[in-house]
Each structure stands twice: as structure tokens, then as C-alpha cells.
Structure 1
Amino acid sequence: MSILHIDSITKSFGEKKILQDVYLSCETGKIASILGRNGCGKSTLFQIIFGKVKSDTQYIKFNDIILKNQFDRKNRIAYLPQYSFLPKNVKIENLIKLFCNEENFQKLIDSILIKPIINTTPNKISGGELRLLEVLLIIYSSAEFILLDEPFHSLSPKIVSIVKDLIKEQSQFKGFIISDHLYQDVLDISDEVYLLSDSYLKPIKDLTELKRFRACLKIKLEKVIWRLSL
């Protein structure tokens, strides 16, 4: 088992504090979700954990190794951003080789989700197909910890259901931190739930706590009662 320890993350843009003393821990075999309204800092937090954005303060450790730069994250943390990140003119089969080891490469090229587009390039597929490809590349990458920012965006309900099953399957070997506005789908697969609000990250243990922050989420509570009551 590996552990990703995230502590003392603070980030400000000018005089506006986005993140304050954020603490989060994730281990392989677990799925953690981060809820929060638009603009609360979820994407910024992901980018700091991945090493793409510099925070004001931070302490991030993979097992006993302190991660100081993005190179330290290689094969340890993979990040799916909200925006498209793949080169548009590279054959999809070659992209899979770049992201995946031999075993996972074979899984993806044999997948019914990828087979129809395996011989084309990202600029020749639809937006939904592109998002699915990006999600699968990150999920099946060599990293032990996977950060997924809006993984279900642009995906049909049927594909979202498939992707949820794949995340659960891969979580046997990896740790996941997920944020998406399809709250119910995120909660369905989460072992731990956090709310990012007013720059602080708060663990949510039960429905009572979620009710206290319902204005922050702007969602109908009945949609999440079932998951938090388990």
C-alpha cells in the first residue's frame, strides 16, 4: 500500500485566499471525492498536488518521499485536467503506448471503447470520444495516484456508468481523488468525501454535515441521501 500525504497547502491570488491549510490523505485502494461549487479552488488544488501550479505553502509526500517538483511526481501522480491535453495529430495507438505499460496498453487496444478510434487521431474524433480517451489514458497510466477533474464531462450516462466501474476496478491498485459536478456519480464510488468551501477542505462524514453546507453545493440533498446513509 502507498500513501499520498497532502498537508499545509495555502494558495492566494493577490489578496484573495483560495486555499488555506488544506489537508488530504489518500492511499491505494481508496477513492476520495472533493465537492464544491464552481470557482472554489478544486482545480487549483489538483494542479498544486500534481506540481503544475506553485502554492504559497505545501507539504506533499509520497510514502516517505517529499515531492518538491513535477519530476518527483513522475509515475506517482497522474492528473486529468478539465481541458483537453492530448496532441491532436498523433495516432491514438501511439498515445496509449506513451501513457500505459504493456499490460494496460493491451487492455485498452482490446477495449470496445477504444477499438473504433484506435487508428485515428484526436482531431478526428468527437468531443465525447476525446474526453473518454483522455480519462482512460490517465486511469490506466503507470501512476499510483490518479487525480480526475471533471472526468464525466461530455460523457453519456451509459459511458459514465462504464467509467465508474473501471475506476472501481483500478482502485484495487491505485488511489483516486475525484471532483465532478455529477455529484451522485462521484458519491456512488467514493470511500471518503470532502467539501471545499471558503478556502478550507472539510471532511464530510454524514448527511447532517452535508446539510450544513448545502448552500455551498447548490444541489438537491435527496440526490445524495442514499449514498451518505450507507
Structure 2
Amino acid sequence: MNRLHIDSITKSFSGRKILQDVYLSCETGKIAGILGPSGGGKSTLLEIIFGTVKGDTQFIKFNDTILKNISDRKNKIAYLPQRSSFLPKECKIRELISLFCTKENEEKLYSLKMIIPFLDETVRNLSGGEKKMVETLIITYSDSDFILLDEPFSGVSPKSVDELEIIIKSQTPYKGIVITDHNYITILNMADDMYLLADTHLRKIKDIKELQQFKYLPKS
């Protein structure tokens, strides 16, 4: 079992505090779900964990190894960004899979019904929802112990969301997963541990009642 430990994360932009003393822990075999309002810092937190953004303060550890640079994360952490696509537009999906995945996972992806229709398509020819789905699958099966998924269901059809949920959960025996999305019902169904990021703080949440208590959801 591998463990990802995130502690003392603080971040401000132009004098505005986004994150304050954030703590998060995830281990292989578990899914940590993060909910929160738009602009509340969820993407920034994932970018700090991945290493593309530097926290004002931060302490990130993989097992007993402190991660200081993005190079330290190689084969340890993979990241699906919310907006910008990381896939080259002119490459075929089949070619890209081999760049991110081990041979074993490459074969698993090639056999997935969800991705078979797109294997010989270039990224440029995919719709926004198709691209998000393909990117999510590639990151989920990538050669990393932990994966960070930032709004993987955005723009994806409801039927494909259900399929993606099943596929992502099927990889938890091999990986630790940190996921955030505005589709809170799906996140609640998937996550072993739930968190709410609001007003700069990350709080562990038990159920929908606590989401209502902290005003993420309206009271019924």
C-alpha cells in the first residue's frame, strides 16, 4: 500500500487567500472526493499536489519521500486538468495510450467498449465531452500510483458518466484517487472519504446533511 500525505498547504493570489492550512491524505485502494463552490480553490489544490503550482507553504509526501519538484512526482502522481487538454491534437488516441500506460494497461484500454470507437481518431476530431472521457480514461490507466481527476464528468453524457464511474472505481485496487466534480451525487457514491473545500479550508464531510450545514447544498 502506498500513501500520499498532503499537509500545511497555503496559497494566496494577489493578496487573496485561496487555501489555508489544508490537510489531505489518500492511500492506494481509496477514493478521496472533494466538493466545493466554483473558484473555491479545488483546482489550485490539485495543481499544488501535482507540482505545477507552488504553494506559499506546503508539505507533500509519498510514503517516506518528500516531494519537492514536479520531477519527484514522475510515475507517482498523474493529473487530469479541468480545462486545458494535455493531449496533442494531431495524434491518434491509439498512439497516445502507449505513451501514458504500461503494456498491461494499454491492452486493457484497447479492449474498453467506451474507447474502442475513438482509437483511430485524432484528438482534434473529438467533441469536448469525448475528449474529456478519453483523457480521463488515459489518466486513470496511466502508470502512476495516484491520480488526480479535476471535473472528469464535465461535458460528458449521463450514460458515459455512469460508465466512467464504474471504470474509475475498478482501478482503486491499484491506485489512490483524488477526484473533484460538481456532480456531487456521483462523487458521494464513489468516495471512501469526502471533503468540502470552502472559505479556504478543507473539511472532512460525513453526509449530505453536513454539506447543507456548511451551505454547499440548500436545506431540503
TM-score (norm 1): 0.92
Q: Does 1:138 align with 2:143?
A: no
- Separation in structure 1 between the aligned mates of residue 218 and residue 200 of structure 2, nearest angstrom: 23
User: Moved runs in structure 1, 4+ residues, more than 4 A?
Assistant: none
Given that 2:10 and 2:21 are in contact with CA atoms closer than 8 Å, whether structure 1 keeps it comes out as yes
Gaps of 5+ in 2: none
Paired residue secondary structure (1:196) = strand
- Separation in structure 1 between the aligned mates of residue 111 and residue 191 of structure 2, nearest angstrom: 28
Alpha-carbon offset, residue 205 of structure 1? 2.3
Q: Quickly say closer, same or farther: Cα 1:131–1:208, change in 2 above 3 A.
A: closer
Alpha-carbon offset, residue 41 of structure 1? 0.4
Q: How does 1:183-202 map to 2 (within 5 A)?
A: 183-202=184-203
Q: Quickly say closer, same or farther: Cα 1:208–1:153, change in 2 above 3 A.
A: closer
Q: Structure 2: which amino acid aligns with 1:162?
A: E
Q: Structure 1: which amino acid aligns with 2:147?
A: I
For each residue in 1:72-121, what CA deviation from the matched residue of structure 2 results, as whole angstroms up to 9, or x when unmatched? Answer: 00110000001222110012111000011001111111222122121121
- Separation in structure 2 between the aligned mates of residue 92 and residue 221 of structure 1, nearest angstrom: 44
Alpha-carbon offset, residue 126 of structure 1? 1.7
For each residue in 1:113-162, what CA deviation from the matched residue of structure 2 results, as whole angstroms up to 9, or x when unmatched? Answer: 12212112100122221111100000000111110000001111111011
Q: How does 1:1-230 map to 2 (within 5 A)?
A: 1-83=1-83, 84-214=85-215, 217=216, 219-220=217-218
CA RMSD between the two structures: 1.2
Alpha-carbon offset, residue 221 of structure 1? 5.3
Q: Structure 2: which amino acid aligns with 1:28?
A: T
Q: Structure 1: which amino acid aligns with 2:10?
A: T
Q: Structure 2: which amino acid aligns with 1:25?
A: S
Q: Structure 1: which amino acid aligns with 2:160?
A: I
> How many residues are aligned here?
219
For each residue in 1:29-69, what CA deviation from the matched residue of structure 2 results, as whole angstroms up to 9, or x when unmatched? Answer: 10011110000000000000000001101000000000001
Q: Structure 2: which amino acid aligns with 1:94?
A: E
- Separation in structure 1 between the aligned mates of residue 208 and residue 154 of structure 2, nearest angstrom: 26
- Separation in structure 1 between the aligned mates of residue 179 and residue 116 of structure 2, nearest angstrom: 26
- Separation in structure 1 between the aligned mates of residue 177 and residue 160 of structure 2, nearest angstrom: 19
Paired residue secondary structure (1:49) = helix
Q: Structure 2: which amino acid aligns with 1:158?
A: K
- Separation in structure 1 between the aligned mates of residue 169 and residue 112 of structure 2, nearest angstrom: 17
**Does 96-105 or 107-116 show the bigger shift?**
107-116
Q: Quickly say closer, same or farther: Cα 1:19–1:113, change in 2 above 3 A.
A: same
- Separation in structure 1 between the aligned mates of residue 112 and residue 57 of structure 2, nearest angstrom: 42
Gaps of 5+ in 1: 223-230
- Separation in structure 2 between the aligned mates of residue 64 and residue 221 of structure 1, nearest angstrom: 43
TM-score (norm 2): 0.96
- Separation in structure 1 between the aligned mates of residue 218 and residue 104 of structure 2, nearest angstrom: 42
Alpha-carbon offset, residue 210 of structure 1? 2.4
